[in-house]
A and B are shown apart, each in its own frame.
Chain A
């Protein structure tokens, strides 16, 4: 058989990939990577565990990332600091990724399409949000005899939530593209005003 090398023998897949990861990254990079997709407030000990570093090291890097606006902090029930990815930082990151590949024209079309899709969900199930849908579904289960309407499955609820989340990223991208256009045009005008006076 041709192709790339056979993997080295390993005793435990979890340990093997962990060692590869640790060998190829710094503790800071691992903490950043782990917290970059931590959306629920989480303690430094858990994040340290996932990043394979000490709680002390994790806390140091998490606080730096908080200062940079990459993560947000809050105080948990027992007084400990909890960390999660900053929504603002995530939205800006996704918007930049989108703008690097998609024209604003195409972006407008797709935003309209995603809005339509959400409108169709709202119309079909008679609720504004997938959260209401989940509540409605529970009520339907509790009272099966009286409910005969459309019963959406979990897949539909996930599809709706996924489209709503991706629409938010796309909207942010379009807003940033528009803002940049005007900010740049504005600064140019300012320069002209200065030079002509």
Chain B
């Protein structure tokens, strides 16, 4: 296969408006610092989740969510300090050498797509309600720890 990396790494299927609506309601109901809205109410391509605060020294942050009809997804975090990272699920043809399944994590500070630095994601479950709840909880664990490490650690020690 000589296909370009970006093509073989695409999300499968169209963006699913119903899934974005469910995700919007979860953020708005469970995260007091977040305000989630569809980027376009009738023809949404992403859910924009604006946070009134950021991780570490950042003053503001945002998570952009894409979810397709085939349950592929991206949750991309970006903040006013220029930090980027992303949880994702889509096929990668084994290019991410540390990642056995489709779920993976593009680490900060630049959400690197370098195949050798992409990590296995700590989020393993499928229904979008659980993926979204996990992202909300991981963000909050990182927020209170004042560190980016909890975002893909998968546990929050006392």
With a cutoff of 8 Å between Cβ atoms, the chain A residues found around residue B42 in the complex are: 98, 102, 107, 110, 114, 166, 169-170
Q: Mark A1-41, 1 if CB is under 8 A from B, else 0.
A: 10110111111111011101100000000000110110110
A83 to B101, CA, bound (A): 25
Please give the number of chain B residues whose Cβ is less than 8 angstroms from any Cβ of chain A in the complex. Answer: 48
Chain A residues with CB under 8 Å of B69's CB are 39, 165
Contacts of A93 in B (CB 8 A): 18
Identify the closest chain B residue to A9 (Cβ): B158
Interface range on chain A: under 10, 10 to 19, 20 to 34, or 35 or more?
Answer: 35 or more
Complex CA gap A12/B125 in Å reads 12
Is B16 within 8 A of A37, CB to CB? yes
The verdict on A10 contacting B10 (CB below 8 Å), with A16-B137, A37-B18, A169-B17 known, is no
Q: Is A167 in the interface zone, CB < 8 Å from B? A: yes
Please determine whether B15 and A162 come into contact, CB atoms closer than 8 angstroms. Answer: yes
B43 to A90, Cβ gap below 8 A? no
Q: Mark B131-156, 1 if CB is under 8 A from A, else 0.
A: 00110011011011010000000111
- Over the window 137-164 of chain A, the binary record of Cβ atoms lying under 8 Å from chain B Cβ atoms (1 yes, 0 no) is 0000100000000000111001101111
Give the complex CA separation of A20 and B146 in angstroms.
Answer: 24
- Alpha-carbon distance A1/B57, docked complex (angstroms): 12
Contact between chains at B7 and A17 (CB < 8 Å): no
B22 (CB) vs chain A CBs: closest residue: A37
Any chain B CB within 8 A of the CB of A60?
Answer: no
Asked if A88 CB lies within 8 Å of chain B CBs, one says no
Interface residues of A in 96-111 (CB under 8 A from B): 97-98, 101-102, 107, 110
What chain B residues lie within 8 Å of A162 (beta carbons)? Answer: 14-15, 43, 45
| Inter-chain residue pair count (beta carbon < 8 A) | 122
Q: Within the assembled complex, what's the spacing in Å between the Cα atoms of A21 and B128?
A: 12
Q: Tell me, yes or no, whether A56 is within 8 Å of chain B by CB.
A: no
Please report whether the interface of chain B is mostly helix, strand, loop or mixed according to DSSP: loop
Are the CB atoms of A50 and B126 closer together than 8 Å?
Answer: yes
A50-B127 in contact (CB<8A): yes
| Cα–Cα distance between A16 and B124 once the two chains are bound (Å) | 12
Q: Is the CB of A7 within 8 A of B137?
A: yes
**Most chain B Cβ neighbours within 10 Å, of A4, A7, A114, A141:** A7
Residues in B neighbouring A165, C-beta threshold 8 A = 14, 17, 69
> Which residue among B18, B128, B134 has the maximum number of chain A CB atoms within 10 Å of its CB?
B18
Residue from A8, A34, A141, A161 in contact with B13 in the complex, judged by beta carbons closer than 8 Å = A161
- Chain A interfacial positions (CB closer than 8 Å to B): 1, 3-4, 6-14, 16-18, 20-21, 33-34, 36-37, 39-40, 50-51, 90, 93-94, 97-98, 101-102, 107, 110, 114, 141, 153-155, 158-159, 161-167, 169-170
Known: A12-B154, A13-B156. 12 other contacts (CB 8 A): A3-B143, A9-B158, A12-B155, A14-B124, A33-B127, A37-B19, A37-B128, A50-B127, A98-B41, A114-B42, A165-B14, A166-B43
A-B contacts, 6 of them at CB < 8 A, read A1-B144, A3-B33, A3-B53, A7-B140, A37-B18, A154-B10
Q: What 3 pairs between A and B have smallest CB-CB spacing? A: A154-B10, A161-B14, A6-B144
